[in-house]
C-alpha cells in the first residue's frame, strides 16, 4: 500500500478551494493507492458553545473538501481533552456521521489527558 495524506493545514486555509482538492486527489491517485485526509487540528470538545459551532462548520467544510479529493480515509482529530462529557458526544456523533458519508474509513486520534 502506498499512502498519502492531505495535511490538516490544507483544510484550514481559505485559499484552498474545490479545484485544489480535486487536483490533489487526481494527482495523488497516479502515485498512491490510498488518499487519507487528516481533519484540522481543532479541539472539537471545546467548552464554549460558540467555539464548538465554528469548529463544527470547519469540519463540515473539511469533510466536503475531502470528498472532492476522493479521500479513502478521514482522520478525525478529537482534540486534547476527552472527559466523557455530553458536549463531546454531541459533537463526535454528527461528525462521525458526516465523515462516514464521504469516506470508506474513519480514523480518530486524541492527544494526551484522556480520563476515564
Residue 105 has pLDDT above 60, yes or no: yes
pLDDT value at position 40?
Answer: 85
pLDDT tens, residue by residue, 56-86:
788 888 888 998 999 988 887 666 555 555 5
What residues does each domain of the chain span? 3-109
pLDDT tens, residue by residue, 14-63:
889 999 999 999 999 999 999 999 888 777 666 677 887 888 788 888 88
User: Which sign, positive or negative, has the C-alpha torsion 13, 17, 23, 26?
Assistant: positive
Q: Going by C-beta distance under 8 Å and a sequence separation of 6 or more, which residues neighbour residue 77?
A: 8, 38, 39, 40, 41, 42, 44, 108, 109, 110
State which H helix or E strand residue 34 sits in.
strand 34-38
- Which DSSP state fits 77? E
pLDDT value at position 56?
Answer: 77
Give residue 114's pLDDT band: very low, low, confident or very high (50, 70, 90). very low
Residue 115 has pLDDT above 50, yes or no: no
Second-level CATH architecture of 3-109: Alpha-Beta Barrel (3.20)
Amino acid at each position: 500500500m502506498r499512502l498519502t495524506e492531505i495535511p490538516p493545514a490544507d483544510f484550514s486555509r481559505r485559499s484552498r478551494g474545490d479545484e485544489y482538492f480535486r487536483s490533489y486527489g487526481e494527482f495523488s491517485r497516479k502515485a498512491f493507492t490510498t488518499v487519507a485526509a487528516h481533519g484540522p487540528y481543532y479541539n472539537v470538545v471545546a467548552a464554549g458553545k460558540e467555539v464548538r459551532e465554528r469548529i463544527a462548520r470547519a469540519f463540515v467544510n473539511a469533510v466536503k473538501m475531502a470528498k472532492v479529493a476522493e479521500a479513502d480515509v478521514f482522520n478525525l482529530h478529537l482534540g486534547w481533552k476527552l472527559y466523557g462529557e455530553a458536549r463531546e458526544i454531541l459533537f463526535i456523533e454528527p461528525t462521525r456521521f458526516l465523515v462516514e458519508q464521504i469516506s470508506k474509513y474513519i480514523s480518530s486520534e486524541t492527544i494526551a489527558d484522556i480520563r476515564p
